[in-house]
């Protein structure tokens, strides 16, 4: 693979990998470093990439594993959603504030999820991966993915309902 082919084929994944890394590390600089490390590793193994079914899956898995390694070293388990992505220009200030508050609650609740549920939920609901892709990335089967995603969503939904009922 030439540098040009590498650039055309794999650079579009940069933003996806960055979002995943930032989600897992909660630090922009660290996420950038992780993505750069992954691209360097993939560049070094560019001649062996044809043996992988999905280079994207490989890179997402490598990114996830590198972030988790860093988190284990720091014993820091955090997560970040950007409330700005949920704002629409047509919304009024009250709707934007309510949406921002909801995002903050969901962030907090997602941080409290077990690591696997948090990762699966991020990959499915934030990044938009299909179940088969998540199974390949996490090394788990489809049923495990569906059950854990369902449990994560249910836990967050129940907690949000509990908070909303308390406010009324």
* CA gyration radius, the chain: 18
> Are 25 and 50 within one domain?
yes
> Are 68 and 92 within one domain?
no
Domain end: 22, 41, 74, which one?
74
Q: What residue has token string 């490390």?
A: 37
Instruction: Give a three-class secondary structure readout of 85-129.
Output: HHCCCCCCHHHHHHHHHHHHHHHHHHHCCCHHHHHHHHHHHHCCC
Among 1-15, 81-95, 150-164, the range with the most confident prediction by mean pLDDT is 150-164
**H or E stretch including 138?**
helix 131-138
The range of the structural domain enclosing residue 9 comes to 3-74
Is there a contact between 120 and 134 (Cβ–Cβ < 8 Å)?
A: yes
pLDDT of amino acid 25: 82
Model confidence at 81, in pLDDT bands (50, 70, 90)? low
pLDDT of amino acid 76: 35
pLDDT tops 70 at residue 98: yes
- How many Cα atoms within 13 Å fall on the side-chain side of residue 7? 3
Residue 38 domain-assigned (yes or no): yes
- Neighbouring C-beta atoms of residue 63, cutoff 10 Å: 25
Q: How far apart are CA 55 and CA 5, in angstroms?
A: 13
Residue 55 domain-assigned (yes or no): yes
């Amino acid at each position: 693979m030439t540098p040009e082919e590498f650039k055309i084929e794999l650079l579009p994944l940069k933003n996806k990998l960055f979002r995943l890394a930032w989600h897992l590390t909660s630090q922009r600089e660290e996420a950038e470093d992780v993505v750069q490390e992954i691209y360097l590793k993939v560049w070094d193994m560019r001649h062996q990439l044809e043996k992988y079914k999905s280079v994207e899956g490989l890179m997402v898995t490598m990114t996830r594993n590198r972030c988790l390694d860093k988190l284990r070293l720091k014993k820091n388990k955090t997560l970040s959603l950007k409330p700005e992505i949920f704002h629409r220009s047509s919304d009024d200030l009250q709707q934007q504030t309510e949406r921002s508050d909801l995002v903050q609650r969901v962030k907090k609740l997602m941080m409290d999820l077990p690591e696997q549920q948090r990762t699966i939920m991020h990959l499915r609901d934030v990044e938009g991966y299909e179940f088969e892709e998540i199974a390949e990335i996490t090394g788990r089967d489809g049923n495990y993915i569906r059950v854990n995603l369902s449990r994560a969503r249910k836990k967050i939904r129940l907690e949000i309902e509990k908070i909303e009922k308390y406010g009324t």
